[in-house]
Amino acid sequence: EVQLVQSGAEVKKPGESLKISCKGSGYSFTNYWIAWVRQMPGKGLEWMGLIYPGDSNTRYSPSFQAQVTISVDRSISTAYLQWSSLKASDTAMYYCARPLLQGAGSYYNTWGQGTLVTVSS
Amino acid sequence: EIVMTQSPLSLPVTPGEPASISCRSSQSLLHSDGYNYLDWYLQKPGQSPQLLIYLASDRASGVPDRFSGSGSGTDFTLTISRVEAEDVGVYYCLQATQSPYTFGQGTKLEIK
C-alpha cells in the first residue's frame, strides 16, 4: 500500500527552528515528486512547492521561497519541510502529497495525514 | 502566477439534485502538449484532501461516476450529477500547467 506518514504535531515559539517530515512507503520513493501544501486555520489550500527525490530538483512558490526549505533523504525515503525562524503566521496544517504518476507534478492521489504546527509565545 | 477563481464559494444542495462548481484561470491552462493540467480535490471535514479529477476530465480511481469534470483553456467545471450526503466538504481546483501551481479558494458544499 502506498503511504505517506507525516511527523507529529509541533508547538513552537516564534524564532525557533523546525523540521517536519513525510515518509513514503509502498513505492519507489525516488521516482515520484513530493509536494507540500499549507492550510492555515479555517482557510484554503496553498501550494508551497515540490521536490523530486531522484535528483533533489526543487521548485518553490514565490510566496514560500524565502520562508522554508524543502529537502529529502533518499536513504530513508523521507521528505522534509523546514523553517529556520518560525513566525506566528506559520501556524497551520501542513500536508505532503504524491502524484498519481511517475514524473507528474500534480494529480496528487496520495496525501499524508497532515502535521499541525502551532507557533505561539 | 496563475490565479484560480472558483464560484460559488458556498453551495447548498438538496440530496439527489445536481451541483456544479466553476473554476476559472487567469491564463489558459492548455499546455503545449495538448493537456489541461487542472485537478479537482475534495476535502471532507477533518480529513486530508482527496483527488477526484485530473487532466480536467479524467476521474481518479475509486471516484464515483456521478463526479465529472469538463472544460479547457480558462473555464472548467466540476459536476456532481446527483449529490449524496457523503459529498459534503470543500472542493478545490488546482492548476499545474505553470509553476507555481495554484489552488482556487475552495467551494463549500453543504446539504440543505
pLDDT at residue A89, rounded to an integer: 97
pLDDT by 10s per residue, chain B, length 112: 999 999 999 999 999 999 999 999 999 999 999 999 999 999 999 999 999 999 999 999 999 999 999 999 999 999 999 999 999 999 999 999 999 999 999 999 999 9
Grid cell at residue A117 = 504546527
pLDDT at residue B17, rounded to an integer: 97
Beta carbons within 8 Å of B35's beta carbon, 6+ residues apart: B55, B56
Grid cell at residue A95 = 500536508
Question: A108: which chain B residues are within 8 Å (Cβ-Cβ)?
Answer: 39, 41, 49, 51
β A10-12/A115-119 pair status: parallel
pLDDT at residue A103, rounded to an integer: 80
Mean pLDDT of A97-118: 94
Mean pLDDT of A69-83: 98
pLDDT > 90 fraction of chain A, expressed in percent and rounded: 95
Query: Cβ contact (<8 Å) for B49 and A46?
Result: no
Taking the C-alpha atoms of residue A80 and residue A19, their distance in angstroms, rounded to an integer, is 6
Distance of CA B3 to the CA centre of its chain: 15
Question: A47: which chain B residues are within 8 Å (Cβ-Cβ)?
Answer: 94, 100-103
DSSP letters spanning A77-119: TEEEEEESS--GGG-EEEEEEEESSTT-S--EEEE---EEEEE
**Residue B50 in contact with partner chain A when CB distance is under 8 A:** yes
**Residue B37 in contact with partner chain A when CB distance is under 8 A:** yes
Taking the C-alpha atoms of residue A28 and residue A112, their distance in angstroms, rounded to an integer, is 16
What's the mean pLDDT when you consider all of chain A? Answer: 96
Mean pLDDT of A2-20: 98
Mean pLDDT of A46-64: 96
Phi-psi region of B18 (alpha: psi -120 to 50; beta: other; left: phi over 0): beta
Q: Which of A45, A46, A59 sits opposite B99 (nearest CB)?
A: A59
* CA distance to partner chain B, nearest, from residue A39 (Å): 10
Taking the C-alpha atoms of residue B112 and residue A110, their distance in angstroms, rounded to an integer, is 31
* CA distance to partner chain B, nearest, from residue A76 (Å): 24
What's the mean pLDDT when you consider all of chain B? Answer: 97
Mean pLDDT of A6-23: 98
pLDDT at residue A50, rounded to an integer: 96
- Report whether B48 contacts A113 (CB < 8 A): yes
For chain A, the C-alpha Rg in angstroms (whole number) is 14
Under DSSP, is residue B63 helix (H, G, I), strand (E, B) or coil? coil
For chain B, the C-alpha Rg in angstroms (whole number) is 13
Mean pLDDT of A43-61: 96
